[in-house]
Amino acid sequence: MAVVKTSIAAVSYLNTVPFIYGIRHADKLRAELLLAPPSACARNFIDRKADIALVPAGALPLMDDAEIVTNYCIGAEKSVRTVTVMSNVPIGEATVIHLDSHSMTSALLVRILAAELWHIRPEWRELTDYSAAEHPAEGEAFLFIGDKVFGYEGKFRYTYDLADCWRELTGKPFVFAVWVARKGSAPELIDALESSLELGVERIWEAIVESGHSEKDYAYGYLTENIDFLFDYQKRQALELFRDKAKKFTPRANPG
Ligand SMILES: C=C(O[C@@H]1C=C(C(=O)O)C=C[C@H]1O)C(=O)O
């Protein structure tokens, strides 16, 4: 059997554990894995350090030579849990929103929600030093993404789950990240990737065990009830709607 070699950039969060498992156990793929926060995954693809990448949907306008591949994504049909805005005032009273610098999709999503759902015009600040969230001033809100959200749960009076907010606005699921390859990549490479991701999504429990996660039931609940990996027709439509609404706002040109 022919084995395809490649380098793959993927997100270093719990939600990517099934994909990583599938790639590591694939029989037709040998991949060097570059694991990093979402904005750095986009950077690794743009800088050609990776041929394939799991990238934030919000980074797609920065990637002329990328095409979306596979039937898998990081999405949510219900609450996502790990993409939240937290504050000590109701969101309608927020005057400043700090944007997690690891995010490219949710940093755009929160701007859409501010304009179309919450009807607020806060000051936007980039959040790189997370100690700023330790003693927030009245009116300050924070976008947090990924595993760090688990550590902030219960620390603020108000938590807004952005997949819930998007569903309230549009009635649709949400797509946070998609798999991309360079346009014109070999079909054997894409086929090998597709079957490795399928393998991972079918073996979520084994993937958690192999990852060494200390709270396995908790991780399993999150990966099966919050994260939705299938990039189906409804999610493709939701992604189109997001990309259309996000056109009014520019993604950060220098991710990572
Ligand atoms: C669901 C999540 O989605 C992530 C959010 C991203 C973003 O905001 O740019 C990008 C990739 C996703 O892995 C999460 O952070 O937990």
Residue-wise pLDDT for 93-117, tens only, equals 999 999 999 999 999 999 999 999 9
How far is residue 49's CA from residue 62's CA, in Å, rounded to a whole number? 16
How far is residue 171's CA from residue 173's CA, in Å, rounded to a whole number? 7
How far is residue 22's CA from residue 229's CA, in Å, rounded to a whole number? 13
From 80, 99, 103, 150, the mutation candidate for ligand 1 (largest count of ligand atoms within 8 A of CB) is 103
Distance 174 CA to ligand 1 centre (A): 11
Supply the pLDDT for residue 175: 98
Of 112, 9, 103, residue with least CA distance to 57: 103
Distance 54 CA to ligand 1 centre (A): 10
How far is residue 69's CA from residue 53's CA, in Å, rounded to a whole number? 10
How far is residue 15's CA from residue 83's CA, in Å, rounded to a whole number? 12
Supply the pLDDT for residue 3: 87
Supply the pLDDT for residue 250: 79
Task: Go through the domains of the chain in sequence order and give each one's CATH number.
Answer: 4-77+173-246 (3.40.190.10), 83-170 (3.40.190.10)
Supply the pLDDT for residue 4: 85
Q: Answer yes or no: is the ipTM higher than 0.90.
A: yes
Q: What angle do CA 234, 85, 81 make, to 5 degrees?
A: 55
How far is residue 85's CA from residue 160's CA, in Å, rounded to a whole number? 5
Query: Which residues partner with 143 through β-bridges?
Result: 85, 99
Supply the pLDDT for residue 247: 95
Q: Which amino acid is at 48?
A: R
* Interval 36-58: pLDDT, tens: 999 999 999 999 999 999 999 99
For ligand 1, which residues put their CB under 6 angstroms from it? 11, 13, 15, 38, 56, 58, 74, 80, 82-83, 103-106, 145-146, 176-177
Supply the pLDDT for residue 2: 79
42 close to 4: Cβ distance less than 8 angstroms: no
Distance 46 CA to ligand 1 centre (A): 18
Supply the pLDDT for residue 254: 65
Mean pLDDT by 10 residues, the chain (256 residues): 89 97 95 96 96 97 96 98 98 98 97 98 95 92 97 96 98 98 96 97 98 96 98 98 94 67
User: Which atom of ligand 1 sits closest to the CA of residue 106?
Assistant: 8
